Protein backbone atom coordinates (compact mmCIF):
# COMPACT_ATOMS: atom_id res chain seq x y z
CA UNK A 1 0.00 0.00 0.00
CA UNK A 2 1.88 3.04 -1.28
CA UNK A 3 1.40 6.51 0.20
CA UNK A 4 0.22 7.66 -3.24
CA UNK A 5 -2.48 4.98 -3.55
CA UNK A 6 -6.10 6.02 -3.18
CA UNK A 7 -6.49 3.01 -0.90
CA UNK A 8 -3.86 4.43 1.47
CA UNK A 9 -5.59 7.82 1.62
CA UNK A 10 -8.88 6.07 2.42
CA UNK A 11 -7.08 3.86 4.96
CA UNK A 12 -5.62 6.89 6.77
CA UNK A 13 -8.99 8.68 6.74
CA UNK A 14 -10.69 5.66 8.35
CA UNK A 15 -7.91 5.25 10.92
CA UNK A 16 -8.07 8.94 11.90
CA UNK A 17 -11.86 8.77 12.22
CA UNK A 18 -11.74 5.65 14.39
CA UNK A 19 -8.82 7.05 16.38
CA UNK A 20 -10.98 9.82 17.80
CA UNK A 21 -14.14 7.69 18.08
CA UNK A 22 -12.83 4.76 20.11
CA UNK A 23 -12.19 5.15 23.85
CA UNK A 24 -8.84 6.90 24.30
CA UNK A 25 -7.29 3.96 26.08
CA UNK A 26 -7.90 1.98 22.89
CA UNK A 27 -6.13 4.44 20.61
CA UNK A 28 -2.72 2.77 20.64
CA UNK A 29 -4.19 -0.76 20.24
CA UNK A 30 -6.09 0.58 17.22
CA UNK A 31 -2.81 1.83 15.77
CA UNK A 32 -1.23 -1.59 16.28
CA UNK A 33 -4.06 -3.29 14.37
CA UNK A 34 -3.87 -0.64 11.65
CA UNK A 35 -0.08 -1.00 11.38
CA UNK A 36 -0.24 -4.77 11.01
CA UNK A 37 -3.05 -4.45 8.46
CA UNK A 38 -0.97 -1.90 6.54
CA UNK A 39 1.94 -4.34 6.44
CA UNK A 40 -0.37 -7.25 5.61
CA UNK A 41 -1.63 -5.40 2.52
CA UNK A 42 1.91 -5.38 1.16
CA UNK A 43 2.54 -9.10 1.69
CA UNK A 44 1.22 -11.27 4.50
CA UNK A 45 4.58 -13.06 4.72
CA UNK A 46 6.25 -9.84 5.84
CA UNK A 47 4.27 -10.09 9.08
CA UNK A 48 6.32 -13.14 10.04
CA UNK A 49 9.59 -11.21 9.87
CA UNK A 50 8.40 -8.12 11.74
CA UNK A 51 6.70 -10.26 14.40
CA UNK A 52 9.84 -12.34 14.99
CA UNK A 53 11.85 -9.11 15.30
CA UNK A 54 9.32 -7.71 17.78
CA UNK A 55 9.24 -10.88 19.90
CA UNK A 56 13.04 -11.15 20.01
CA UNK A 57 13.40 -7.45 20.83
CA UNK A 58 10.79 -7.49 23.57
CA UNK A 59 11.92 -10.72 25.28
CA UNK A 60 15.67 -10.03 25.17
CA UNK A 61 15.15 -6.50 26.51
CA UNK A 62 13.17 -7.89 29.45
CA UNK A 63 15.94 -10.39 30.17
CA UNK A 64 18.57 -7.63 30.15
CA UNK A 65 16.39 -5.49 32.38
CA UNK A 66 15.93 -8.40 34.79
CA UNK A 67 19.68 -9.06 34.90
CA UNK A 68 20.37 -5.41 35.60
CA UNK A 69 17.65 -5.22 38.23
CA UNK A 70 18.92 -8.29 40.08
CA UNK A 71 22.44 -6.89 39.93
CA UNK A 72 21.39 -3.56 41.43
CA UNK A 73 19.38 -5.30 44.16
CA UNK A 74 22.31 -7.56 45.04
CA UNK A 75 24.73 -4.64 45.26
CA UNK A 76 22.30 -2.70 47.43
CA UNK A 77 21.77 -5.66 49.79
CA UNK A 78 25.51 -6.37 50.10
CA UNK A 79 26.75 -2.81 50.11
CA UNK A 80 28.46 -3.22 53.48
CA UNK A 81 29.84 -6.70 52.77
CA UNK A 82 31.66 -6.03 49.50
CA UNK A 83 34.91 -4.21 48.88
CA UNK A 84 35.33 -1.70 46.10
CA UNK A 85 37.14 -4.27 43.97
CA UNK A 86 34.44 -6.88 44.56
CA UNK A 87 31.71 -4.44 43.60
CA UNK A 88 33.61 -3.54 40.45
CA UNK A 89 34.08 -7.20 39.55
CA UNK A 90 30.41 -7.95 40.17
CA UNK A 91 29.30 -5.03 38.00
CA UNK A 92 31.58 -6.29 35.21
CA UNK A 93 30.00 -9.73 35.56
CA UNK A 94 26.49 -8.27 35.29
CA UNK A 95 27.51 -6.18 32.29
CA UNK A 96 28.97 -9.25 30.60
CA UNK A 97 25.70 -11.16 31.04
CA UNK A 98 23.71 -8.25 29.60
CA UNK A 99 26.12 -7.98 26.68
CA UNK A 100 25.70 -11.68 25.89
CA UNK A 101 21.92 -11.25 25.76
CA UNK A 102 22.35 -8.08 23.70
CA UNK A 103 24.61 -9.92 21.27
CA UNK A 104 22.06 -12.72 20.92
CA UNK A 105 19.22 -10.27 20.31
CA UNK A 106 21.22 -8.30 17.72
CA UNK A 107 22.22 -11.53 15.98
CA UNK A 108 18.53 -12.32 15.62
CA UNK A 109 17.25 -8.90 14.56
CA UNK A 110 20.17 -7.76 12.40
CA UNK A 111 20.70 -11.36 11.28
CA UNK A 112 17.24 -11.40 9.69
CA UNK A 113 18.12 -8.18 7.85
CA UNK A 114 21.48 -9.55 6.73
CA UNK A 115 20.12 -12.88 5.48
CA UNK A 116 17.17 -11.45 3.57
CA UNK A 117 18.89 -8.42 2.09
CA UNK A 118 22.52 -9.44 1.56
CA UNK A 119 22.64 -13.22 0.95
CA UNK A 120 22.39 -13.00 -2.83
CA UNK A 121 24.83 -10.08 -2.89
CA UNK A 122 27.41 -12.25 -1.14
CA UNK A 123 26.67 -15.23 -3.41
CA UNK A 124 27.05 -13.14 -6.56
CA UNK A 125 30.37 -11.72 -5.39
CA UNK A 126 31.69 -15.17 -4.49
CA UNK A 127 30.75 -16.40 -7.95
CA UNK A 128 32.43 -13.41 -9.58
CA UNK A 129 35.57 -13.83 -7.49
CA UNK A 130 35.91 -17.55 -8.16
CA UNK A 131 34.79 -17.14 -11.76
CA UNK A 132 32.89 -20.39 -11.32
CA UNK A 133 30.89 -21.89 -14.18
CA UNK A 134 27.46 -22.38 -12.73
CA UNK A 135 28.63 -21.20 -9.32
CA UNK A 136 26.42 -20.99 -6.26
CA UNK A 137 22.79 -20.63 -7.17
CA UNK A 138 21.13 -17.43 -5.97
CA UNK A 139 18.45 -18.00 -3.37
CA UNK A 140 14.81 -17.02 -3.72
CA UNK A 141 14.53 -14.82 -0.62
CA UNK A 142 11.87 -12.22 -0.04
CA UNK A 143 13.05 -8.89 1.31
CA UNK A 144 10.35 -7.39 3.56
CA UNK A 145 9.48 -3.76 2.92
CA UNK A 146 11.16 -1.31 5.30
CA UNK A 147 13.16 -4.04 7.06
CA UNK A 148 16.19 -1.74 7.32
CA UNK A 149 14.16 0.91 9.13
CA UNK A 150 12.34 -1.22 11.68
CA UNK A 151 15.46 -3.31 12.34
CA UNK A 152 17.40 -0.17 13.24
CA UNK A 153 14.60 0.96 15.55
CA UNK A 154 14.61 -2.41 17.29
CA UNK A 155 18.41 -2.41 17.55
CA UNK A 156 18.48 1.09 19.05
CA UNK A 157 15.91 0.02 21.65
CA UNK A 158 17.94 -3.05 22.63
CA UNK A 159 21.17 -1.07 22.93
CA UNK A 160 19.48 1.66 24.98
CA UNK A 161 18.06 -0.95 27.37
CA UNK A 162 21.47 -2.60 27.74
CA UNK A 163 23.03 0.79 28.52
CA UNK A 164 20.34 1.56 31.09
CA UNK A 165 19.20 4.62 29.13
CA UNK A 166 15.61 3.36 29.11
CA UNK A 167 13.63 0.68 30.92
CA UNK A 168 12.40 -2.36 29.01
CA UNK A 169 8.77 -2.21 27.89
CA UNK A 170 6.85 -5.00 29.63
CA UNK A 171 3.82 -4.89 27.34
CA UNK A 172 4.63 -6.87 24.17
CA UNK A 173 1.90 -5.20 22.13
CA UNK A 174 3.29 -1.75 22.88
CA UNK A 175 6.70 -2.95 21.74
CA UNK A 176 5.13 -4.38 18.57
CA UNK A 177 3.55 -0.98 17.85
CA UNK A 178 6.88 0.80 18.34
CA UNK A 179 8.48 -1.47 15.74
CA UNK A 180 5.57 -1.39 13.26
CA UNK A 181 3.99 2.11 13.58
CA UNK A 182 2.68 2.41 10.03
CA UNK A 183 3.26 6.10 9.10
CA UNK A 184 7.02 5.81 9.67
CA UNK A 185 7.37 2.15 8.71
CA UNK A 186 8.10 2.74 5.03
CA UNK A 187 10.87 5.34 5.13
CA UNK A 188 11.42 6.62 8.64
CA UNK A 189 12.24 8.72 10.56
CA UNK A 190 14.18 6.13 12.59
CA UNK A 191 12.70 6.77 16.03
CA UNK A 192 14.14 6.05 19.46
CA UNK A 193 11.88 4.39 22.01
CA UNK A 194 12.62 7.05 24.62
CA UNK A 195 11.29 9.73 22.27
CA UNK A 196 8.40 8.05 20.48
CA UNK A 197 6.96 6.31 23.55
CA UNK A 198 6.24 9.69 25.18
CA UNK A 199 3.31 10.31 22.81
CA UNK A 200 2.71 7.01 20.98
CA UNK A 201 0.87 5.34 23.87
CA UNK A 202 -0.72 8.47 25.34
CA UNK A 203 -4.42 9.24 25.23
CA UNK A 204 -5.11 12.04 22.76
CA UNK A 205 -8.19 14.18 22.44
CA UNK A 206 -8.94 15.91 19.17
CA UNK A 207 -7.18 19.29 18.92
CA UNK A 208 -7.98 21.43 15.91
CA UNK A 209 -4.63 23.21 15.96
CA UNK A 210 -2.56 20.03 15.94
CA UNK A 211 -4.84 18.35 13.41
CA UNK A 212 -4.67 21.37 11.11
CA UNK A 213 -0.87 21.53 11.33
CA UNK A 214 -0.68 17.85 10.46
CA UNK A 215 -3.15 18.16 7.60
CA UNK A 216 -1.33 20.98 5.83
CA UNK A 217 1.95 19.13 6.17
CA UNK A 218 0.36 16.09 4.51
CA UNK A 219 -0.81 18.27 1.62
CA UNK A 220 2.66 19.82 1.33
CA UNK A 221 4.21 16.37 1.18
CA UNK A 222 1.86 15.21 -1.57
CA UNK A 223 2.51 18.43 -3.49
CA UNK A 224 6.26 17.81 -3.50
CA UNK A 225 5.84 14.13 -4.34
CA UNK A 226 3.14 14.18 -7.03
CA UNK A 227 3.55 17.60 -8.61
CA UNK A 228 7.36 17.76 -8.65
CA UNK A 229 9.11 14.44 -7.88
CA UNK A 230 7.00 12.05 -9.95
CA UNK A 231 6.82 14.50 -12.86
CA UNK A 232 10.55 15.15 -13.11
CA UNK A 233 11.31 11.42 -12.76
CA UNK A 234 9.75 10.96 -16.20
CA UNK A 235 12.65 12.95 -17.68
CA UNK A 236 15.29 11.37 -15.46
CA UNK A 237 14.54 7.75 -16.41
CA UNK A 238 15.63 7.92 -20.07
CA UNK A 239 18.78 9.88 -19.16
CA UNK A 240 20.00 7.26 -16.68
CA UNK A 241 18.93 4.17 -18.66
CA UNK A 242 19.84 5.13 -22.24
CA UNK A 243 23.44 6.00 -21.46
CA UNK A 244 24.65 5.50 -25.03
CA UNK A 245 22.45 8.42 -26.09
CA UNK A 246 22.34 10.64 -23.01
CA UNK A 247 25.82 11.57 -21.81
CA UNK A 248 27.90 14.71 -21.39
CA UNK A 249 25.60 17.65 -20.70
CA UNK A 250 22.71 15.25 -20.12
CA UNK A 251 24.56 13.83 -17.09
CA UNK A 252 24.76 17.30 -15.57
CA UNK A 253 21.05 17.84 -16.26
CA UNK A 254 20.18 14.41 -14.88
CA UNK A 255 22.07 14.94 -11.63
CA UNK A 256 20.41 18.32 -11.01
CA UNK A 257 17.00 16.90 -11.86
CA UNK A 258 17.66 13.96 -9.54
CA UNK A 259 18.73 16.31 -6.74
CA UNK A 260 15.33 18.00 -6.96
CA UNK A 261 13.48 14.70 -7.43
CA UNK A 262 15.14 12.97 -4.47
CA UNK A 263 14.59 15.95 -2.17
CA UNK A 264 10.91 16.31 -3.04
CA UNK A 265 10.37 12.54 -2.96
CA UNK A 266 12.07 11.85 0.36
CA UNK A 267 11.06 15.01 2.23
CA UNK A 268 7.57 14.71 0.75
CA UNK A 269 7.25 11.23 2.21
CA UNK A 270 8.56 12.39 5.58
CA UNK A 271 6.10 15.32 5.52
CA UNK A 272 3.24 12.87 5.00
CA UNK A 273 4.56 10.62 7.78
CA UNK A 274 5.00 13.43 10.31
CA UNK A 275 1.73 15.04 9.22
CA UNK A 276 -0.31 11.86 9.82
CA UNK A 277 1.34 11.44 13.20
CA UNK A 278 0.65 15.06 14.16
CA UNK A 279 -3.01 14.57 13.28
CA UNK A 280 -3.00 11.90 16.01
CA UNK A 281 -1.04 13.99 18.50
CA UNK A 282 2.06 11.81 18.07
CA UNK A 283 5.42 13.53 17.73
CA UNK A 284 8.17 12.27 15.44
CA UNK A 285 11.68 13.63 15.06
CA UNK A 286 12.39 15.96 12.16
CA UNK A 287 14.47 14.25 9.49
CA UNK A 288 15.46 17.24 7.34
CA UNK A 289 16.52 20.78 8.17
CA UNK A 290 17.09 22.65 4.90
CA UNK A 291 19.90 20.33 3.68
CA UNK A 292 20.38 22.20 0.39
CA UNK A 293 21.40 25.29 2.34
CA UNK A 294 24.46 23.46 3.71
CA UNK A 295 27.90 24.99 3.10
CA UNK A 296 29.83 21.72 3.20
CA UNK A 297 29.19 17.98 3.01
CA UNK A 298 29.56 17.44 6.76
CA UNK A 299 26.91 20.07 7.46
CA UNK A 300 24.75 18.54 4.74
CA UNK A 301 24.71 15.21 6.58
CA UNK A 302 23.78 16.99 9.80
CA UNK A 303 20.67 18.24 7.97
CA UNK A 304 19.77 15.31 5.66
CA UNK A 305 18.19 12.09 6.94
CA UNK A 306 19.09 13.23 10.44
CA UNK A 307 17.75 10.22 12.32
CA UNK A 308 19.85 7.85 10.21
CA UNK A 309 22.98 9.93 10.75
CA UNK A 310 22.51 10.15 14.51
CA UNK A 311 21.82 6.40 14.63
CA UNK A 312 25.16 5.56 13.01
CA UNK A 313 26.91 8.14 15.19
CA UNK A 314 25.44 6.96 18.50
CA UNK A 315 25.46 3.22 17.93
CA UNK A 316 28.52 2.67 15.71
CA UNK A 317 30.92 5.64 15.67
CA UNK A 318 31.06 6.42 19.39
CA UNK A 319 31.20 2.79 20.60
CA UNK A 320 33.92 2.07 18.03
CA UNK A 321 35.94 5.16 18.95
CA UNK A 322 36.14 4.28 22.65
CA UNK A 323 36.36 0.49 22.30
CA UNK A 324 39.41 -1.14 23.98
CA UNK A 325 40.92 -2.16 20.65
CA UNK A 326 40.56 1.35 19.24
CA UNK A 327 42.09 2.89 22.36
CA UNK A 328 44.96 0.43 22.07
CA UNK A 329 45.41 1.32 18.39
CA UNK A 330 45.31 5.03 19.26
CA UNK A 331 48.06 4.58 21.84
CA UNK A 332 50.19 2.59 19.38
CA UNK A 333 49.71 5.08 16.53
CA UNK A 334 50.61 8.08 18.66
CA UNK A 335 53.78 6.30 19.82
CA UNK A 336 54.90 5.10 16.38
CA UNK A 337 53.41 7.63 13.95
CA UNK A 338 53.62 10.79 16.01
CA UNK A 339 50.93 12.79 17.78
CA UNK A 340 49.77 14.65 14.66
CA UNK A 341 49.06 11.53 12.59
CA UNK A 342 48.42 9.12 15.45
CA UNK A 343 45.45 11.02 16.86
CA UNK A 344 43.74 10.83 13.47
CA UNK A 345 44.07 7.09 12.90
CA UNK A 346 41.24 5.84 15.12
CA UNK A 347 38.92 8.69 14.20
CA UNK A 348 39.41 8.15 10.48
CA UNK A 349 39.13 4.38 10.82
CA UNK A 350 35.89 4.70 12.81
CA UNK A 351 34.51 7.14 10.22
CA UNK A 352 35.51 4.76 7.43
CA UNK A 353 33.62 1.88 9.03
CA UNK A 354 30.58 4.09 9.67
CA UNK A 355 30.38 5.25 6.06
CA UNK A 356 30.98 1.72 4.80
CA UNK A 357 28.06 0.55 6.96
CA UNK A 358 25.95 3.48 5.75
CA UNK A 359 26.54 2.53 2.14
CA UNK A 360 25.77 -1.14 2.76
CA UNK A 361 22.61 -0.19 4.69
CA UNK A 362 21.33 1.72 1.66
CA UNK A 363 21.60 -1.29 -0.61
CA UNK A 364 23.22 -4.65 -1.31
CA UNK A 365 25.28 -3.44 -4.27
CA UNK A 366 28.76 -2.06 -4.90
CA UNK A 367 27.44 1.27 -6.12
CA UNK A 368 26.09 1.94 -2.61
CA UNK A 369 29.40 0.91 -1.05
CA UNK A 370 31.26 3.35 -3.31
CA UNK A 371 28.60 6.00 -2.62
CA UNK A 372 29.22 5.70 1.12
CA UNK A 373 33.01 5.77 0.77
CA UNK A 374 32.82 8.75 -1.60
CA UNK A 375 31.05 10.71 1.14
CA UNK A 376 33.74 9.59 3.58
CA UNK A 377 36.59 10.72 1.29
CA UNK A 378 35.05 14.15 0.68
CA UNK A 379 34.45 14.75 4.40
CA UNK A 380 37.94 13.60 5.42
CA UNK A 381 39.68 15.62 2.67
CA UNK A 382 37.67 18.71 3.62
CA UNK A 383 38.66 18.26 7.24
CA UNK A 384 42.36 17.97 6.32
CA UNK A 385 42.16 21.08 4.15
CA UNK A 386 40.66 23.25 6.90
CA UNK A 387 44.03 24.93 7.71
CA UNK A 388 44.35 25.94 4.04
CA UNK A 389 40.78 27.25 4.04
CA UNK A 390 41.61 29.33 7.12
CA UNK A 391 44.68 30.83 5.43
CA UNK A 392 42.65 31.60 2.31
CA UNK A 393 39.93 33.38 4.28
CA UNK A 394 42.43 35.31 6.39
CA UNK A 395 43.94 36.67 3.20
CA UNK A 396 40.86 37.37 1.09
CA UNK A 397 38.17 37.93 3.78
CA UNK A 398 35.38 36.21 1.84
CA UNK A 399 34.09 33.94 4.58
CA UNK A 400 31.22 36.09 5.83
CA UNK A 401 30.09 37.50 2.49
CA UNK A 402 26.77 36.51 0.97
CA UNK A 403 28.38 35.80 -2.38
CA UNK A 404 30.79 33.27 -0.91
CA UNK A 405 27.98 31.68 1.11
CA UNK A 406 26.05 31.13 -2.13
CA UNK A 407 29.18 29.65 -3.69
CA UNK A 408 29.60 27.23 -0.76
CA UNK A 409 25.97 26.13 -1.05
CA UNK A 410 26.24 25.58 -4.81
CA UNK A 411 29.54 23.71 -4.35
CA UNK A 412 27.96 21.37 -1.79
CA UNK A 413 24.95 20.70 -4.01
CA UNK A 414 27.26 19.92 -6.94
CA UNK A 415 29.47 17.55 -4.93
CA UNK A 416 26.51 15.70 -3.42
CA UNK A 417 24.79 15.50 -6.80
CA UNK A 418 27.90 13.95 -8.34
CA UNK A 419 28.09 11.37 -5.55
CA UNK A 420 24.40 10.57 -6.00
CA UNK A 421 25.05 9.51 -9.59
CA UNK A 422 26.19 6.18 -8.11
CA UNK A 423 22.59 5.81 -6.98
CA UNK A 424 21.26 6.76 -10.42
CA UNK A 425 23.33 4.51 -12.69
CA UNK A 426 23.75 1.65 -10.18
CA UNK A 427 27.00 0.62 -11.91
CA UNK A 428 30.35 1.85 -10.56
CA UNK A 429 32.47 1.88 -13.77
CA UNK A 430 29.57 3.36 -15.75
CA UNK A 431 29.05 6.09 -13.16
CA UNK A 432 32.70 7.19 -13.34
CA UNK A 433 32.44 7.15 -17.13
CA UNK A 434 29.31 9.33 -17.10
CA UNK A 435 30.81 11.78 -14.62
CA UNK A 436 33.88 12.12 -16.85
CA UNK A 437 31.68 12.72 -19.89
CA UNK A 438 30.27 15.85 -18.24
CA UNK A 439 33.67 17.47 -18.67
CA UNK A 440 34.89 15.77 -21.86
CA UNK A 441 31.76 15.51 -24.01
CA UNK A 442 29.71 18.52 -23.00
CA UNK A 443 27.24 19.75 -25.60
CA UNK A 444 25.68 23.04 -24.61
CA UNK A 445 23.33 22.96 -27.61
CA UNK A 446 21.20 20.56 -25.60
CA UNK A 447 19.78 23.55 -23.74
CA UNK A 448 18.60 25.32 -26.89
CA UNK A 449 18.00 22.78 -29.67
CA UNK A 450 14.83 21.24 -28.20
CA UNK A 451 16.51 18.07 -26.93
CA UNK A 452 14.99 18.53 -23.47
CA UNK A 453 11.54 18.27 -25.04
CA UNK A 454 12.33 14.68 -26.07
CA UNK A 455 12.63 13.41 -22.49
CA UNK A 456 8.90 12.82 -22.04
CA UNK A 457 7.99 16.24 -20.65
CA UNK A 458 6.10 19.02 -22.42
CA UNK A 459 6.65 22.74 -22.10
CA UNK A 460 3.68 22.79 -19.71
CA UNK A 461 5.42 20.15 -17.55
CA UNK A 462 8.60 22.20 -17.41
CA UNK A 463 6.54 25.26 -16.47
CA UNK A 464 4.88 23.37 -13.61
CA UNK A 465 8.27 22.06 -12.46
CA UNK A 466 9.81 25.51 -12.54
CA UNK A 467 6.97 27.08 -10.56
CA UNK A 468 7.01 24.16 -8.11
CA UNK A 469 10.77 24.55 -7.69
CA UNK A 470 10.36 28.28 -6.99
CA UNK A 471 7.70 27.54 -4.36
CA UNK A 472 9.88 24.96 -2.60
CA UNK A 473 12.87 27.29 -2.80
CA UNK A 474 10.83 30.22 -1.50
CA UNK A 475 9.59 28.21 1.48
CA UNK A 476 13.16 27.16 2.23
CA UNK A 477 14.50 30.71 2.04
CA UNK A 478 11.68 31.94 4.28
CA UNK A 479 12.53 29.30 6.90
CA UNK A 480 16.25 30.02 6.66
CA UNK A 481 15.88 33.78 6.92
CA UNK A 482 13.10 34.11 9.50
CA UNK A 483 13.70 30.91 11.54
CA UNK A 484 9.91 30.69 11.75
CA UNK A 485 7.64 27.70 11.22
CA UNK A 486 5.33 28.55 8.33
CA UNK A 487 2.52 26.34 9.63
CA UNK A 488 2.54 28.17 12.96
CA UNK A 489 2.21 31.48 11.11
CA UNK A 490 -0.59 30.13 8.91
CA UNK A 491 -2.53 28.83 11.91
CA UNK A 492 -2.71 32.41 13.19
CA UNK A 493 -4.76 33.36 10.12
CA UNK A 494 -7.57 30.87 9.53
CA UNK A 495 -8.73 32.26 6.13
CA UNK A 496 -5.13 32.20 4.85
CA UNK A 497 -4.64 28.69 6.21
CA UNK A 498 -7.77 27.45 4.42
CA UNK A 499 -6.73 29.23 1.21
CA UNK A 500 -3.28 27.55 1.23
CA UNK A 501 -4.85 24.15 1.89
CA UNK A 502 -7.24 24.60 -1.05
CA UNK A 503 -4.40 25.72 -3.34
CA UNK A 504 -2.31 22.69 -2.38
CA UNK A 505 -5.24 20.28 -2.87
CA UNK A 506 -6.16 21.78 -6.24
CA UNK A 507 -2.51 21.70 -7.34
CA UNK A 508 -2.19 18.05 -6.35
CA UNK A 509 -5.42 17.03 -8.09
CA UNK A 510 -4.95 19.11 -11.25
CA UNK A 511 -1.16 19.16 -11.63
CA UNK A 512 -0.20 15.86 -10.00
CA UNK A 513 1.55 13.35 -12.28
CA UNK A 514 -1.56 11.34 -13.15
CA UNK A 515 -3.01 10.20 -16.44
CA UNK A 516 -3.50 7.22 -18.72
CA UNK A 517 -0.67 4.76 -18.29
CA UNK A 518 0.79 6.62 -15.36
CA UNK A 519 2.19 4.46 -12.59
CA UNK A 520 2.89 6.41 -9.45
CA UNK A 521 6.55 5.99 -8.57
CA UNK A 522 6.96 4.47 -5.15
CA UNK A 523 8.92 6.52 -2.66
CA UNK A 524 12.63 5.97 -3.24
CA UNK A 525 13.33 4.89 0.34
CA UNK A 526 10.68 2.16 0.16
CA UNK A 527 13.43 -0.10 -1.16
CA UNK A 528 15.43 0.24 2.06
pLDDT confidence of residue 357 = 93
In a domain, 226, yes or no: no
One pLDDT digit (tens) per residue for the chain, 528 residues: 788 888 999 999 999 999 999 999 999 999 999 999 999 998 899 999 999 999 999 999 999 999 988 888 888 888 788 888 888 888 889 888 999 999 999 999 999 999 998 888 888 888 887 776 577 777 888 888 889 999 999 999 999 999 989 999 999 999 999 999 999 988 889 999 999 999 999 999 999 999 999 999 999 999 999 999 999 999 999 999 999 999 999 999 999 999 999 999 999 999 999 999 999 999 999 999 999 999 999 999 999 999 999 999 999 999 988 888 888 888 888 888 888 888 888 889 999 999 999 999 988 889 999 999 999 999 999 988 888 988 888 888 888 888 999 999 999 999 999 999 999 998 999 999 999 999 988 888 888 888 899 999 999 999 999 999 999 999 999 999 988 888 888 888 889 999 999 999 999 998 887 643 344 445 555 454
In a domain, 24, yes or no: yes
**pLDDT, position 133:** 59
In a domain, residue 504? The reply is no
What whole-number distance in Å separates Cα of residue 223 and Cα of residue 233? Answer: 15
pLDDT of residue 176: 96
CB distance 116 to 141 below 8 Å: yes
Does 202 share its domain with 319? no
Residue 357, phi then psi, degrees to nearest 5: -65, -40
Q: Pick the last residue of a domain from 403, 424, 445.
A: 424
pLDDT at res. 516: 37
Looking at the structure, do residues 318 and 175 belong to the same domain, yes or no? no
Contact 513, 231 (CB under 8 A): yes
Give the helix/strand (H/E) hosting 379: helix 366-384
Shared domain check, 47 and 186: yes
**Residues 199 and 295 both lie in one domain:** no
Q: Are 151 and 54 in contact, with CB atoms under 8 Å apart?
A: no
Do both 186 and 327 map to the same domain? no
The DSSP letter of residue 21 is T
Domain count, the chain: 2
Residue 137, domain member (yes or no) = yes
- Closest listed residue to residue 189, CA positions, set 75, 76, 311, 98: 311
Indicate if 18 and 151 belong to the same structural domain: yes
Q: What is the pLDDT of residue 467?
A: 95
Is there a domain that residue 313 lies in?
Answer: yes
φ, ψ of residue 21 to 5 degrees: the values are: -95, -45
Query: Residue 68's pLDDT is what?
Result: 87
Please say whether the beta carbons of 149 and 190 come within 8 A. yes
Pair (296, 201) in one structural domain: no
Helices (H), 397-514: 402-425, 428-440, 459-482, 486-491, 494-511
Q: Are residues 34 and 127 in the same domain?
A: yes
Residue 225 CA from chain centroid, whole number: 16
- What is the pTM (predicted TM-score) of this model? 0.90
Domain of 377, in residue numbers: 291-424
Does one domain contain both 32 and 167? yes
What residues contact 235, with CB distance under 8 A and at least 6 apart?
257, 452, 455, 456, 457
Instruction: Flag whether 346 is in a domain.
Output: yes
pLDDT value of position 517: 38
- Radius of gyration over alpha carbons of the chain, in Å? 25
Residue at which a domain ends, from 153, 186, 206: 206
Task: Please check whether residue 174 lies inside any domain of the structure.
Answer: yes
Residue 128: the pLDDT is 80
Same domain, 184 and 68: yes
Are residues 58 and 187 located together in one domain of the fold? yes
Does residue 11 share a domain with residue 129?
yes
**CA–CA dist 161, 63 (Å, integer):** 10
- State yes or no: cis peptide before 189, omega within 30 of 0: yes
510 within some domain: no
- Out of 186, 206, 226, a domain closes at 206
Amino acid sequence: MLFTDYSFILFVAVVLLLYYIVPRKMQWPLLLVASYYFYYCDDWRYLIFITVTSVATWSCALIMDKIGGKGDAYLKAHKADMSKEERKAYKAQVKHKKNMVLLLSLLITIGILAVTKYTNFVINNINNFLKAGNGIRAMDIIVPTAISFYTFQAASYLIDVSRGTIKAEKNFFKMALFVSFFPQLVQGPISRFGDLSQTLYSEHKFELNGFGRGLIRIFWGYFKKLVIADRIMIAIKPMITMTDKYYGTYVFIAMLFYALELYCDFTGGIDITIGISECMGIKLKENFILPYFSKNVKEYWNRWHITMGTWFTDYIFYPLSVSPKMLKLSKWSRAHLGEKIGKRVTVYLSCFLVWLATGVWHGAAWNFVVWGLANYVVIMVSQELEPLYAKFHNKFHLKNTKGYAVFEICRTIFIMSCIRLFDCYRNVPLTFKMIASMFTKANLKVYTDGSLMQLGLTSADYTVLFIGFLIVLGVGIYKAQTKKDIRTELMKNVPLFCFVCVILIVSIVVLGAYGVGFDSTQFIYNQF
